[in-house]
Amino acid sequence: MKNIVGILVLLLIYACNGTKEREKQDVISSDNTDTLKYLEETHLANVKQLTWGGNNAEAYWSFGGDQLIFQSDFSEWDVSCDQIFLLDIAQASPKQRPAMLSTGLGRTTCAYFLPGDTTIVYGSTHLGDSLCPADPPRSISGKYVWPIYDSYDIFVSDLSGEILTQLTETPGYDAEATVSPKGDMIVFTSMRSGDLELYTMNLDGSDVNQVTDELGYDGGAFFSPDGEKLIFRASRPKTEEEVKVYKDLLSQGLVQPTEMELFICNVDGSELTQITNLGNANWAPYFHPSGDKVLFSSNHESQRGFPFNLYMINTDGSGLERITFDDTFDSFAMFSPDGKKLVWASNRFNGGNRDTNLFVADWID
């Protein structure tokens, strides 16, 4: 699941390790003008911070490229768990309080603009309970876990926060919806088959088609720039013990996201190809504007779970390149519609606290 609670739990674990953030003055750009990037981050320029406090992530661009929709649990915005907010990029400042578009009830996740930028789609548990669902244990048998709340369904809302329609009604988890750049289709993750699989549907919720069918958690899918392919993260339990652990956790509404790789397929599920085999957690992928590369977050170089950084890889699995060099967490990267900017979530330069903030930068190929 794309879940800020998961980020926070990992940050708590990391903080207990006692690793200190690198000194800012030792790593920023040599001319001292780009103070929110590290020297090695040659693909990024003019980095700007967009939020200041709480856990903010999954910021996705409007089709017009001037707004972001994101989720946050920032207590100063009067929320108890993740809710959906709208940010005008040009107006971002420490004093700004973005407009909340979700109901404020239940927990929400994965908002995305629909064509025209007057409506959004997002997942919410509010029909199951008006309260935030209980957080699961941080780990089961020493293994870090994510919750898969069965009360999640997918809704369409306007920019005043009014829910216009409910797109999913099947029992169990339905969330993680993203929209094709062509503006004709939604991809999402659902438990309706008894396993966490990818599905597509029309913008009105009709013509639902199953995309994946292998045992394991398939999620966090995004369309290619031409709308013809999908990139997503997946776990693939193979051994008898791995299968048992996966099924036992799933029966409790939990998944273990610590071993995931990236896969590409056509929108109908054909030509499924695994493009990473790095180990640990490789997730939050997004296509490069060329359609020939993928940006993603990974901790495959870590022995203790952290740090997570951004990497880029060709769609054939070659040419792995590290993009960010933070000591804690960089993830949820997404290119602007014109391919010129990148937004992502990071713990960089947060003064040693656990805030996860949003950043935007010019992208340099």
Specify the residue for token string 């919720």.
Answer: 205
CA atoms within 13 A on the CB side of 235: 22
More confident residue, 143 or 132: 132
Q: Is the pLDDT confidence value at 26 over 90?
A: no
Categorize the per-residue pLDDT at 276 as very low, low, confident or very high, splitting at 50, 70 and 90: very high
Residue 3, pLDDT score: 55
User: What distance separates the 2 farthest-apart alpha carbons in the chain?
Assistant: 56
The mean pLDDT of the chain is 92
pLDDT at 16 over 80: no
Q: What is the pLDDT of residues 217-238, one digit of tens each?
A: 999 999 999 999 999 999 999 9
Cβ-count burial 280-319 (b if 16+ within 10 Å, e if not)? bbbbbbbbbeeeebbbbbbbbeeeeebbbbbbbbebebee
What is the CATH classification number for the domain harbouring 295?
Answer: 2.120.10.30
**Domain residue limits at 159:** 4-363
The pLDDT value recorded for residue 348 is: 96
Question: Over 80: is that where the pLDDT of 11 sits?
Answer: no
Q: How confident is the model at residue 143 (pLDDT cuts 50, 70, 90)?
A: confident
Q: Per-residue pLDDT averaged across 23-47, rounded?
A: 76
Range name among 30-39, 82-91, 354-363 with the lowest pLDDT average: 30-39
Report the pLDDT value the prediction gives residue 185, as an integer from 0 to 100.
Answer: 98
pLDDT value at 138 more than 80: no
Distance (Å, whole) CA 179 – CA 223: 7
Is the per-residue pLDDT at 4 higher than 80? Answer: no
Q: Cα separation of 67 and 40, whole Å? A: 28
Closest CA to 229 of 270, 281, 199: 270
> pLDDT tens for residues 169-218?
999 999 999 999 999 999 999 999 999 999 999 999 999 999 999 999 99
Place of tokens 């992530």: 57
Which pLDDT tens digit goes with each residue over 70-126? Answer: 999 999 999 999 999 999 999 999 999 999 999 999 999 999 999 999 999 999 999
User: What is the spatial distance between Cα 176 and Cα 257, in angstroms, rounded to a whole number?
Assistant: 15
Model-level pTM?
Answer: 0.93
Provide the b/e sequence for 43-78 (b: ≥16 CB within 10 Å): bbeebebbbbbbbbbbbbbbeeeebbbbbbbbeeee
What's the angle, vertex CA 109, arms to CA 340 and CA 224, rounded to 5? 40
Domain count, the chain: 1
| pLDDT above 90: percentage of residues in the chain | 86
**pLDDT value of position 18:** 37
pLDDT at 27: 55
